[in-house]
Amino acid sequence: MRDWFRELRSFFRKGDMVLLTLCLITSAYSSLIIASATNASKFGSSTRYIVIHVVATLIGLLAYAIMSSINLDFLAEHRAVLAVLNVGMLLLLIPFGTDAGTENRSWLDFPFLPVNIQPAEICKIFFIVILASVMSSRQNRISKFSSVLMMAGHLILLVAANMILSKDLGVTLIFVFIFLGMAFAGGVNLIWFLLGGGAIAAVFPLLWKYYLDPYQQKRILYILNPEEIDPKGLGVGWHTSQSLQSLTGGGMLGQGLFNGNRTQAGALYAQHTDYVFSSIGEELGYVGCFLVILLLVLIVIRCIWVGNHSSDYMRRMVCFGAAAAMIFQVCINVGMCVGLVPVIGLTLPLFSYGGSSVVTIYAMLGLVSGVHARPAPTSHERYIRAPRY
């Protein structure tokens, strides 16, 4: 604890201020976007949304500093505890779960809190540390069957728990992409990716028939054949068609903040959360969308840069895991807005409204800042190895 307080006091000197600056610039930009997107009459007053977003950013800044000051080796040594915490948080969905107006029971509604919490977002952070710890303990035989089985075991446990308890396919896919990104960066033999792809292809018909709800099936089929599934765009393709109209309605420079025809009329579904990118396209045009992508790409590049400049395998994997989570979430959200991927309800990192999402992204990037502050174990920690559970 004494070491943690010492690291926290030196946060501004040792932490990654470049990454933090990029995040704060992104949050400032997103605050303007959310203020405009929630200005429509259907939201009542946009003040509430702005206040919550700013408060979430401030809490996220604190979470960034705290995670940046925690020694990753300590977390890695207690990965079993983190795994139990992940499952425990998801089990809380049984008594306290709510869909929060969505189709997934993925939020915790505690009576004593003014906002809902999405536990899977927290699980995402712990999963990166758990997987990095497992890979580090077996880095010299990373492609052995036992190593891949142990890595996949943690993934399957988390995916199964989240899908059974919440049916939130979007966050579940983030876990999968984090796993794939870290396994690839960590040197797992490509044959395992081929075998994994074959296994998924083999069980997909069963998942399609017995697990995916009809509305989820239609969302996937609509992307493949929109003319047949929803030719008029009034059914399952409604949100996608509305999103494209808003996204392309601003042209190059947009109609201006607080001036978007559809955004200010509240005609776009989830224009402050899942479809905030389309709202940006209408009001700030392609230039505004480019700036959004640029900021997020710079954050990803910084994560990869920090990882590449660490000599410690586990710390590199943590940075690459954070980068993989950001890449997947950005690609899916933007792809959903332009109609290239099915609607699965993933937010745009740091831009979409949502306290849990903002705080957990700052916390996740705080791990990267911790790697920047301590790129390798100190001399007395080099002989500590995480237990192999």
Per residue in 249-295, pLDDT (tens digit) is: 888 999 999 998 988 888 888 888 889 999 999 999 999 999 999 99
- pLDDT, residue 378, reads 66
Contact 324, 177 (CB under 8 A): yes
Which helix H or strand E contains 97, and what residues bound it?
Answer: strand 97-98
- pLDDT, residue 380, reads 47
Token pair listed for 117: 């919490």
The residues, ordered by sequence, that sit 6+ positions from 58 with a Cβ below 8 Å of its Cβ are: none
Q: Is the pLDDT of residue 389 over 60?
A: no
Look up residue 247 and give its DSSP letter.
H
Instruction: Give the whole-angstrom CA distance, residue 270 versus residue 51.
Output: 18
Domain spans, the chain: 78-355
Look up residue 311 and give its DSSP letter.
-
173, 121, 233: which is closest to 108 by C-alpha?
Answer: 121
- pLDDT, residue 1, reads 63
Q: For 228-261, what is each residue's pLDDT tens digit?
A: 777 777 777 788 888 888 888 888 999 999 998 9
Q: For residue 195, give the amino acid letter.
A: L
Q: At 102, is the pLDDT very low, low, confident or very high (cuts 50, 70, 90)?
A: low
In this structure, what are the phi and psi dihedrals at residue 193, rounded to the nearest 5 degrees? Answer: -70, -40
- Say how far residue 189 (Cα) sits from the centre of its chain: 26
- Say how far residue 72 (Cα) sits from the centre of its chain: 20
Per the prediction, the chain carries an average pLDDT of 88
The total of other beta-carbon atoms located within 10 Å of residue 81's CB is: 12
Instruction: Give the whole-angstrom CA distance, residue 68 versus residue 66.
Output: 5
The residues, ordered by sequence, that sit 6+ positions from 86 with a Cβ below 8 Å of its Cβ are: 123, 126, 127, 130, 158, 161
